[in-house]
Chain A
Amino acid sequence: MRALCWNGINDLRVETIDDPIILDPGDVIVKVKLSSVCGSDLHLLDGYVPAMRSGDVLGHEFLGEVVETGAGVSKLTKGDRVIVISIIGCGHCWFCDNQLYSLCDNSNATPGMEETVYGHAGAGIFGYSHAFGGYAGSHAEYIRVPYAETNVFKVPDGVSDETAVFVSDAVPTGWMAADLADVQDGDVVAVWGAGGVGLMAMTAARIMGAERVIAIDRFPDRLKKAHAHAGAEIVNYEKVDVHDALMDMTGGRGPDRCIDAVGLEAHGTGPGYLYDRAKQALRLETGRATVLRQAVRACRKGGTVSVIGVYGGFVDTFPMGALMNKALTMRGGQQHGQRYVPTLFEHIREGRLDPSYLMTHRWPLDRGAEGYGMFKHKTDDCLRVVFDPTLSAGPGANNLGAGGPA
């Protein structure tokens, strides 16, 4: 089959490789119809997640059709149109029993690195390095899905592929960000990062009762979408001081809930940013805490900081004093998508939630490297480029972006 493989930092190639096979009775094989890029992949491309090996297949946000089932699978059959949650639960451990699927004890087949550094290992993740299980990803014609009855969900009739694919990752992640933030009726919710995840967090916050949502980013097209699709007020951090703006907009209180949907590769301005970049380049600091620092400082006393953007190792100059003295609650995690899928499809069917606009580009797999380049540099108003392995390369590639072909 054809698959998009990681071959080194910022080096991606489409190669012809073996088809996946069923390894365990609970497995299914899914024929991939749509497979999206995600901000998390950029951390792999840029070298912030260790333990990638050349030849690893990328991709974890996908939709497709079940084409083969293991002997122990009874709830799924060939031909089912499905999405698969990007983070793998075993469905049997204490964490899965408590709907904390991304903390699954059993699904990470290669837990050693996480155990050494984090103390414990979390779940396996598709296409996300040998620290997170060493599973092949979804930017391919076929993918093996372990523990399928826990991780595979049939797409309800009437929900299009273009909408459903994001229920694999971006939608539940944004939803969980708002859930962790404990959004209450009447809250002001500030979201750093207007990518697919941040935008979904804004809509989720609204559905959960937020009175006002504030989007912080620097790309005008993304901010515009935050306003159009989530009714967000917008802050361009390259134009204004974020802290001052947030204080102005909230009568000095600060946002009740602050969501970091950016993570360790936060871009920034000023000396703090240069300091972080230099240390990060020397590998003395593994995450840039630009957004975390702003969020903790701006957050209303007694409010919540929800960290859904990914961090890998260590950050510097974390404002612990502010967190403690302002009695803030800070929560984070990889998404527990399995827990939210039924609710999310319900909101989608009832028209309160429509993630389909995240798919700004639908491209053949062969344009994988180019697609990641566009997504990384946020050119051509790209929010998410979604690969369709059934499309052939060259013309016929369907560019849904605002501009012409990239």
Chain B
Amino acid sequence: MAYQRSRSSKDDLAADLFTPGSLAVGVIAALALRRMGTLGLVGAALGGAWAYQTWRNKTGKPPTHVIPRAPLTVRRSITIGKPRPEVFAYWRDPTHFPRFMAHVEDVREIGPDAHHWVVRGPLHTAMEWDADLVDIRENQHIGWRARPGADIVNEGSVTFADAPGGRGTEVHLEVTYDAPGGKLGAMVARLMGEEPDRQAHDDLRRLKQILETGHVTSSQPRPHGSR
């Protein structure tokens, strides 16, 4: 099967990063941020790139992946070192979602393969909807779709495939958000923060940590000196 996905925003970032002009802008932004104390230390390219992306977000020249195309689709993949049935079984029960999806506060069963979702955005705004699991294929695929009347119209799917060389299971996640009227951008931004890609990725990483190690990796809270 030919790979068809269009050039990702991360590729754009990497390309920009290697353009001297852009890097210089990133560096200037980094230094500015440092003065503001936002990053503390912005010595290396890590800081520059980070600041650069922030700068793009802040200056009304948003990275391409945040532009609220209608519908907005987020796709991320991860490889989990566990057999496909085990990964599938975990995902088959959406009440597990709050354990690894940072903004999902509660998922409660309301009927056969139907759930009520409560999602928390910034500033303690809550958004809710009922959703049905759809298109379930054992050990291969699970879809879900919000019912009409949802605060955010959304649907998603996750596909499971064997990774080569016995490396476990490839998990491919795709979520699409859509809403009538011009509300989409604002709502999705409220829900997802500035980087829906990043959030989806972090969610998948936490899922991987749970399935591989038994829990989400944590370094907080930790002892620290005065700030």
Does B171 touch A at the CB level, under 8 Å?
Answer: no
Chain A positions within 8 Å of B39 at CB level = 50-51
Chain B positions within 8 Å of A57 at CB level = 223-225
Q: How far is the CB of B20 from chain A (nearest CB, A)?
A: 8
The answer to whether B41 touches A283 (Cβ under 8 A) is: no
The answer to whether B45 touches A117 (Cβ under 8 A) is: yes
The answer to whether A52 touches B40 (Cβ under 8 A) is: yes
The answer to whether B168 touches A94 (Cβ under 8 A) is: yes
Chain A positions within 8 Å of B226 at CB level = 5, 7, 15, 54-55
The answer to whether B41 touches A52 (Cβ under 8 A) is: yes
Given the interface pairs A49-B41, A51-B39, A97-B81, the reply to whether A116 lies near B53 with Cβ below 8 Å is yes
Chain B positions within 8 Å of A313 at CB level = 44-46, 48
Does B220 touch A at the CB level, under 8 Å?
Answer: yes
Does B152 touch A at the CB level, under 8 Å?
Answer: no
* Alpha-carbon distance A94/B168, docked complex (angstroms): 9
The answer to whether B222 touches A3 (Cβ under 8 A) is: no
Chain A positions within 8 Å of B87 at CB level = none
A interface residues, how many (CB within 8 angstroms): 68
Does A333 touch B at the CB level, under 8 Å?
Answer: no
Does A56 touch B at the CB level, under 8 Å?
Answer: yes
The answer to whether B81 touches A94 (Cβ under 8 A) is: yes
Q: Which of B23-31, B97-105, B153-161 contacts A (4 or more CB under 8 A)?
A: B23-31
Given the interface pairs A90-B212, A90-B217, A117-B46, the reply to whether A136 lies near B81 with Cβ below 8 Å is no
* Alpha-carbon distance A15/B225, docked complex (angstroms): 6
The answer to whether A106 touches B223 (Cβ under 8 A) is: no
* Alpha-carbon distance A312/B45, docked complex (angstroms): 7
* Alpha-carbon distance A299/B210, docked complex (angstroms): 45
Does B145 touch A at the CB level, under 8 Å?
Answer: no
Does A113 touch B at the CB level, under 8 Å?
Answer: yes
* Alpha-carbon distance A17/B225, docked complex (angstroms): 6
* Alpha-carbon distance A134/B224, docked complex (angstroms): 11
* Alpha-carbon distance A140/B48, docked complex (angstroms): 31
Does B43 touch A at the CB level, under 8 Å?
Answer: yes
Does A23 touch B at the CB level, under 8 Å?
Answer: yes
Contact of B225 among A5, A47, A146 (CB under 8 A): A5
Given the interface pairs A93-B81, A283-B30, the reply to whether A312 lies near B44 with Cβ below 8 Å is yes
* Alpha-carbon distance A173/B10, docked complex (angstroms): 32
* Alpha-carbon distance A4/B45, docked complex (angstroms): 27
* Alpha-carbon distance A299/B223, docked complex (angstroms): 46
The answer to whether B27 touches A284 (Cβ under 8 A) is: yes
Our count of residue pairs bridging A and B at CB distance below 8 angstroms stands at 169
The answer to whether A25 touches B214 (Cβ under 8 A) is: yes
The answer to whether B205 touches A48 (Cβ under 8 A) is: no
The answer to whether B212 touches A93 (Cβ under 8 A) is: yes
Highest count of chain B CB atoms <10 Å: which of A3, A20, A283: A283
Encode contact with B along A308-329: 1 for CB under 8 Å, 0 otherwise: 0000111000000000000000
Does A202 touch B at the CB level, under 8 Å?
Answer: no
Encode contact with B along A65-102: 1 for CB under 8 Å, 0 otherwise: 00000001000000000000000001111100100000
Give B195's nearest chain A residue, CB to CB: A112
The answer to whether B212 touches A50 (Cβ under 8 A) is: no
The answer to whether B225 touches A54 (Cβ under 8 A) is: yes
Near B by CB (< 8 A), chain A positions 1-59 give 1, 3, 5, 7-9, 13, 15, 17-21, 23-26, 46-57
The answer to whether A286 touches B44 (Cβ under 8 A) is: yes
Chain A positions within 8 Å of B217 at CB level = 24, 90, 106-109, 124, 133, 146
Give B48's nearest chain A residue, CB to CB: A283
Does A282 touch B at the CB level, under 8 Å?
Answer: yes
* Alpha-carbon distance A50/B48, docked complex (angstroms): 9
Chain B positions within 8 Å of A282 at CB level = 27
Does B50 touch A at the CB level, under 8 Å?
Answer: yes
Does A111 touch B at the CB level, under 8 Å?
Answer: yes
Does B219 touch A at the CB level, under 8 Å?
Answer: yes
Contact of A53 among B46, B79, B218, B227 (CB under 8 A): B227
Chain A positions within 8 Å of B168 at CB level = 94
Give B218's nearest chain A residue, CB to CB: A23
The answer to whether B43 touches A50 (Cβ under 8 A) is: yes
Give B37's nearest chain A residue, CB to CB: A54
Near A by CB (< 8 A), chain B positions 11-68 give 13-14, 17, 20, 23-24, 27, 30-31, 39-50, 53
Q: How far is the CB of A125 from chain B (nearest CB, A)?
A: 11
Q: How far is the CB of A149 from chain B (nearest CB, A)?
A: 11
* Alpha-carbon distance A134/B223, docked complex (angstroms): 11
Chain B positions within 8 Å of A24 at CB level = 215, 217-218
Does A147 touch B at the CB level, under 8 Å?
Answer: yes
Given the interface pairs A55-B227, A92-B213, the reply to whether A117 lies near B205 with Cβ below 8 Å is no
Does B167 touch A at the CB level, under 8 Å?
Answer: yes
Chain A positions within 8 Å of B47 at CB level = 50-51, 113
Chain B positions within 8 Å of A51 at CB level = 39-41, 46-47
Give B226's nearest chain A residue, CB to CB: A55
- 18 extra interface residue pairs, beta carbon distance < 8 Å, beyond A51-B41, A283-B43, A284-B20: A1-B223, A9-B41, A13-B225, A21-B221, A24-B218, A49-B41, A50-B40, A51-B46, A51-B47, A97-B81, A105-B212, A108-B217, A112-B198, A112-B202, A117-B45, A124-B217, A282-B27, A284-B23
Shortest beta-carbon contacts, A-B, top 3: A313-B45, A5-B225, A50-B47
A/B interface sample: 19 pairs, CB < 8 A = A1-B223, A3-B225, A23-B221, A54-B225, A90-B213, A90-B217, A112-B202, A119-B14, A133-B217, A134-B220, A135-B219, A136-B219, A136-B223, A144-B222, A147-B213, A283-B27, A283-B30, A284-B24, A313-B44
